Amino acid sequence: MPTIKFDRKNFFFYSIIVVLIFLIDRISKIYVINYTKEIFDISIYNSKFLNVTLIWNEGIAFGLFSQGNVFFYNILTALIIFISIGVLFFSVMYQGLKRYALICIFGGSLGNLYDRISYSAVPDFIDFHINEFHWFVFNVADIFISIGVIIMIMTEFFVKNRNQNDQNN
């Protein structure tokens, strides 16, 4: 486990990244929400592979655990807050790509957490599909969270393989 090493010199830089991720997410959601109000339709754009359609997600990632139960929703929100704090803590501990991955995850989680608290749901609107097969509808914050998770998995896989190769040689 890495040691905690607070880097004041780069703290401002990492904070800017988190704020930019949050702002990009907020601006995209505000645009979609306001545009759907203007046209009185939840569907903004439809094409062969991409639809922009506003849905309100009361669950967690990809609409999982959407129960409609206020108590369950509040428990999920509290759990997301604790996980976000943990991600922030680990982003201070790690360096390099892992830190950037965790910063992406944290920035995205802040965007979705803001919506959960403000709207009691997260606005999702990006719908990729092939014919009738639709992937889960998601938003910009989800993109950053997914990128961060993919980077974490890739760094773990490649670092572990590199360390094993170094030990074998």
* Residues taking part in catalysis: 124, 142
Residue 124 · residue 55 · CB < 8 Å: yes
Chain-centroid distance, C-alpha 141: 4
Closest CA to 152 of 96, 82, 93, 85: 96
Residue 74 · residue 116 · CB < 8 Å: no
Chain-centroid distance, C-alpha 6: 24
Q: Which two tokens stand for residue 13?
A: 């830089």
Cα–Cα distance between 14 and 31 in angstroms, integer? 26
